[in-house]
């Protein structure tokens, strides 16, 4: 069952189900790898290039989206290396960033089954962290069970922030993590709209854009999703070990904004 929860947390599973949900979300294109070629991604790394058909597809969808764009695999975005992986500023970066994502995925024991190219939503960020790589913006996680919201909380706790680029980052983060009544009402509506398209228990993530609009950016099974209580057991029935904040944030789906 635990393995199944992880499989369902892949964007290949949930995106086709929720793509038609009536909530703001990034425009998205998917490039699926053929099953027999998934293991060959290591060879692509050694050669330092992708097969021409995938390179051409990346360029095709990149042209449709425009730049910058957000690039991720079905399981991972390696947002800690933001400017070298998921954030693609121009077409000439596409192939190298795709290869960097493959490399990082292998390092985290993740399988690359697809690339997702997404419209880049400018985040309402206040500071950067992780060696100046990642813009930190207001993000929220909503937990839905059988389509109904049962809890919600800010995505970025102080404990998860590493190497911020400003001394006043904690004050800025506290301001960003303030949930207003109007925000909660709106995101509850959005989360439950997403919940109409999937069965079971899920975490649903939102990010605030520069223009003040909230976007649905990611989701995963609740059973393998982080919650605020540090070192909390995810679920007594899963028989999983305790997960630290950073382990979760590093290994789970990676905020496809």
Specify if 209 maps to a domain: yes
pTM, 2 dp:
0.89
Give the residues across from 207 on adjacent strands: 139, 215
69 Cβ contact list (under 8 Å, min separation 6): 62, 88, 117, 118, 119, 120
The residue out of 92, 119, 146 marking a domain boundary is: 119
Supply the pLDDT for residue 237. Answer: 43
Supply the pLDDT for residue 252. Answer: 44
Specify if 2 maps to a domain: no
Statement to judge: residues 86 and 130 lie in one domain: no
Statement to judge: residues 179 and 224 lie in one domain: yes
Specify if 137 maps to a domain: yes
Supply the pLDDT for residue 90. Answer: 98
Specify if 257 maps to a domain: no
Specify if 4 maps to a domain: no
Specify if 163 maps to a domain: yes
Supply the pLDDT for residue 204. Answer: 98
Start-to-end CA distance of the chain, whole Å, equals 29
Statement to judge: residues 180 and 198 lie in one domain: yes
| 128-174 residue pLDDT tens | 999 889 999 999 999 999 999 999 999 999 999 999 999 999 999 99
Lowest mean pLDDT segment, chosen from 82-86, 112-116, 157-161, 234-238: 234-238
As a 3-state breakdown, the chain gives helix, strand, coil percent values, each rounded to 5, of 40, 20, 40
Statement to judge: residues 111 and 127 lie in one domain: no
59 C-beta neighbours (distance < 10 Å), count: 14
Supply the pLDDT for residue 236. Answer: 43
Specify if 256 maps to a domain: no
The residue out of 119, 142, 176 marking a domain boundary is: 119
Statement to judge: residues 137 and 110 lie in one domain: no
Supply the pLDDT for residue 231. Answer: 36
Q: Give the tokens for residue 208.
A: 């605030």
Query: Of 247, 217, 230, whose CA–CA distance to 116 is shortest?
Result: 217
Rounding to the nearest 10 degrees, give the CA dihedral for residues 167, 170, 171, 172.
90
Supply the pLDDT for residue 6. Answer: 84
Q: What is the C-alpha to C-alpha distance for residues 204 and 83, in angstroms, rounded to an integer?
A: 25
| 194-250 residue pLDDT tens | 999 999 999 999 999 999 999 999 999 999 999 987 434 444 444 443 333 444 444
Statement to judge: residues 80 and 168 lie in one domain: no
Here the CATH number for the domain that contains residue 155 is: 3.30.470
Residue in this structure with the two tokens 């069965």, named with its chain if needed = 199
Supply the pLDDT for residue 228. Answer: 85
Show the domain range for 85.
Answer: 27-119
| 30-71 residue pLDDT tens | 999 999 999 999 999 999 999 999 999 999 999 999 999 999
Contact 173, 158 (CB under 8 A): yes
Specify if 10 maps to a domain: no
The residue out of 65, 97, 119 marking a domain boundary is: 119
Statement to judge: residues 163 and 191 lie in one domain: yes
Statement to judge: residues 246 and 137 lie in one domain: yes
Supply the pLDDT for residue 246. Answer: 40
Statement to judge: residues 32 and 68 lie in one domain: yes
Lowest mean pLDDT segment, chosen from 113-117, 159-163, 252-256: 252-256
- Tally of domains in the chain: 2
């Amino acid at each position: 069952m635990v393995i199944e929860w992880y499989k369902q947390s892949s964007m290949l599973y949930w995106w086709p189900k929720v793509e038609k949900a009536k909530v703001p979300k990034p425009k998205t294109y998917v490039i699926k790898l053929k099953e027999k070629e998934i293991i060959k991604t290591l060879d692509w790394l050694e050669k330092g290039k992708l097969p021409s058909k995938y390179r051409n597809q990346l360029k095709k969808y990149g042209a449709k989206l425009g730049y910058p764009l957000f690039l991720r695999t079905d399981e991972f975005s390696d947002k800690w290396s933001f400017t070298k992986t998921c954030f693609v500023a121009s077409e000439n970066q596409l192939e190298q960033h795709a290869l960097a994502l493959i490399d990082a995925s292998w390092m985290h024991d993740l399988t690359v089954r697809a690339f997702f190219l997404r419209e880049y939503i400018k985040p309402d960020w206040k500071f950067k962290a992780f060696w100046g790589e990642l813009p930190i913006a207001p993000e929220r996680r909503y937990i839905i069970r059988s389509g109904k919201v049962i809890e919600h909380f800010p995505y970025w706790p102080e404990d998860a922030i590493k190497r911020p680029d400003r001394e006043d980052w904690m004050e800025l983060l506290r301001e960003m993590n303030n949930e207003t009544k109007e925000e909660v009402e709106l995101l509850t509506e959005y989360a439950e709209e997403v919940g109409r398209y999937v069965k079971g228990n899920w975490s649903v993530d939102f990010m605030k854009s520069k223009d003040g609009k909230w976007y649905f950016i990611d989701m995963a099974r609740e059973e393998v999703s982080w919650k605020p209580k540090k070192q909390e057991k995810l679920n007594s029935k899963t028989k999983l070990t305790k997960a630290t904040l950073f382990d979760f944030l590093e290994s789970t789906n990676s905020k496809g904004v």
